[in-house]
Amino acid sequence: MLVIAHGIVGRADLPIPSELFGAAAAVVLVLSFLALASGWTRPRLEHLRERALLRLPLAVEVLCGAIGVAVFAVVVYAGLAGTSSQQDNLAPTAVYVGFWVAVPFLSLLIGDWFRLFNPWRAIGRATGWVAGRLSRGEGTEAFPYPERLGHWPAAAGILAFVICELCWATGREPQPLAILMLIYAFLMLAGQGIYGVEPWSRRGDAFGVWFGLFALLSPVGRRADGTLVLRPPVAAATRLAPGAGSVALLVIGIGSTGFDGAGEGPLFNGVRPDLQDFFTSLGATLAVGLELAYVVGLLVAIGMVGLLWRLGTEGMPRAGAHGLDRRGLSLAFAHTLIPIAAAYVVAHYFSLLAYNGQDLWRLASDPLGDGSDLFGGAGGSIDYSILTATAIWYAQTLALVGGHVAALVLAHDRALVVYGSPQAATRSQIVMLVLMVCFTCLGLWLLSAALNG
Amino acid sequence: MAAVGRAERIGRVLFFAHAGHWLVQLIYLVPLMVLVGVILVGRHRDKREAAHEQVRAERDE
């Protein structure tokens, strides 16, 4: 993935220094905070106005699920039976670009479409339907999903995935990747078997939950009865039902994306050799030492984001109208991390999707890398001229600042609910403003370091 | 003096002719402008709803 993701971005000819961008972004956040304090005096996002569009028939859900299962099967087969070259096998690009990057981007635009195509959910539902028919309604009941488990399985799944993506070289090779996909599918089916398809999909399926968070920012939503609705963008984030592990999931997502940027810059590369030497001195090989150095860097990045969040929630007064303690405040404001996570993902992976996303057509035409040309695109190549490095930088800046302004809006709106008066709400969010400025400047610095490194 | 006036005019022309270069550097202001727009629309809606409420209350009386 390091090769796939990061060997493509040219040096940015930035029109003004990145430090100035950081300062300007901080000013924009402060001005946004002041605008909210003076003009946003009552909660507006807790009760969404939705406009119903149409109701998706069951047949469409079945068809989408079947497509999802078919794509999953093709990618696994390509990984197992195709060439071992990462560049010529469909599996690595399909997973790390088509799945991990493109799905969140699309979820931001058109809502939780992945839920329809989710292959594990589709298999689970089909299995449940068949089992129900065979047992004639006398099948065993699923266990109730434990509250204390919350989003922890999803958080663990995302952490495992980012370790495979960013730290473990073998996790980017087609065959091991295909095996990991099968293991993940097995774990999902086991979870569905124990706790039921829907409860597990909504809480335990790492990717279903992660992509679903991005979908909450989308202007397109879907009700439980299958009706598609239009709604204000970002506002549906207030519907997040946080529980155990929800904050951890978001912190892992933000921290890992931040580390993906830091891993290319001087900050991590300065200490990486020392970390590698430390692990090799303990007996690890050079390769394993390097991988462990990356794991340490990743965990430190996640820990730093967690610490920032802790400081942000510690800085909020406890004595709100709801009498929430620190954990209660952390959960009440957890949804404000969603646009930050989205901003980091869009900013960091925008260029990867624009460039390497093009390669999906070539790889789909020759999924095994054996010279076939199923769709006539096997001879295609990536057109790097579609975006300049400066254009990428502007898109990244816009995403980061926009995401953090959205987070400020969500936090202010929730603070009005928790603290009652606009004055108390504004005062409670001063530390959160500092936190947002930190996240924005950190993100811009990581991006500029990666771009100029 | 005529030369200075011409230079000023050329400067103004260049300022606008190169707007594409410097306008894009203000891209980070877009979220703030959107937010201000949302706040203004919200306040306008609030005022309109308050006026409707008042009319309704007066009618009920």
Q: What is the pLDDT of residues A365-417, one digit of tens each?
A: 999 999 999 999 888 889 988 888 888 888 888 888 899 999 999 999 999 99
Torsion, CA A356, CA A358, CA A363, CA A366, rounded to 10? -150
Look at residue A179 in the predicted model and tell me its pLDDT.
97
Q: Which of A150-154, B17-21, B53-57 has the highest mean pLDDT?
A: A150-154
Among chain B residues, the shortest Cα distance to A43 is held by B42
Look at residue A18 in the predicted model and tell me its pLDDT.
63
Spatial CB neighbours of A9, under 8 Å, sequence gap ≥ 6: A351, A389, A392, A450, A451
Q: How confident is the model at residue B17 (pLDDT cuts 50, 70, 90)?
A: low
Task: Please state, as a whole number, how many other Cβ atoms lie within 10 Å of the Cβ of residue A85.
Answer: 11
Contact yes or no for B28 and A398 at CB 8 A: yes
Beta strands A51-55; A220-222: pairing state: unpaired
Contact yes or no for A401 and B40 at CB 8 A: no
* B28, B36, B40: residue with CB nearest A401: B28
* A35, A42, A398: residue with CB nearest B36: A35
What's the predicted TM-score (pTM) here?
Answer: 0.88
**Cβ pair A74, A367 in contact under 8 A:** yes
Contact yes or no for B28 and A397 at CB 8 A: yes
A44 closest CA partner among A430, A429, A412: A412
Contact yes or no for B39 and A40 at CB 8 A: yes
**Cβ pair A410, A238 in contact under 8 A:** yes
Distance from CA of A423 to the nearest CA of B (A): 17
Distance of CA A82 to the CA centre of its chain: 28
Distance from CA of B41 to the nearest CA of A (A): 10
Q: How far apart are CA B41 and CA A119, in angstroms?
A: 42
Q: How far apart are CA A345 and CA A210, in angstroms?
A: 12
Look at residue A7 in the predicted model and tell me its pLDDT.
32
What tokens appear for A117 in the block?
Answer: 């195509």
Supply φ then ψ for residue A362, to 5 degrees: -60, -45
Distance from CA of B52 to the nearest CA of A (A): 19
Supply φ then ψ for residue A41, to 5 degrees: -105, -5
A218 closest CA partner among A321, A114, A127: A114
Using the structure block, give the residue that is written with the tokens 């473990």.
Answer: A168
Look at residue A8 in the predicted model and tell me its pLDDT.
33
Q: How far apart are CA A118 and CA A68, in angstroms?
A: 6
Supply the angle between the helices A337-356 and A389-419 in degrees, to the nearest 10.
160
CB of B39 less than 8 A from some CB of A: yes
CB of B56 less than 8 A from some CB of A: no
If DSSP codes are grouped into helix, strand and coil, which group holds residue A220?
strand
Supply the angle between the helices A246-262 and A337-356 in degrees, to the nearest 10.
40
Look at residue B46 in the predicted model and tell me its pLDDT.
85
Measured between beta carbons, which residues in chain A are less than 8 angstroms from residue B44? none
Which residues, in sequence order, are bridge partners of residue A191?
none
Contact yes or no for B35 and A401 at CB 8 A: no
Q: How confident is the model at residue B56 (pLDDT cuts 50, 70, 90)?
A: confident
Contact yes or no for B32 and A28 at CB 8 A: yes
Contact yes or no for A394 and B27 at CB 8 A: yes
If DSSP codes are grouped into helix, strand and coil, which group holds residue A72?
helix
Q: How far apart are CA A331 and CA A147, in angstroms?
A: 14
CB of B36 less than 8 A from some CB of A: yes
Distance from CA of A257 to the nearest CA of B (A): 21
Cα A412 to Cα A44, A94, A134, A399: the distances in Å are 10, 39, 53, 20
**Cβ pair A440, A340 in contact under 8 A:** no
Q: Which of A18, A390, A405 to mutate to test the interface with B (most CBs of B within 10 A)?
A: A405
Distance from CA of B11 to the nearest CA of A (A): 20
- Measured at the alpha carbon of residue A130, what is the angle toward residues A187 and A152, in degrees to the nearest 5? 25
Q: How is residue A237 annotated by DSSP?
A: G
- Measured at the alpha carbon of residue A252, what is the angle toward residues A246 and A258, in degrees to the nearest 5? 140
pLDDT-flagged residues of chain A (< 50)? 1-15
Measured between beta carbons, which residues in chain B are less than 8 angstroms from residue A42? 46
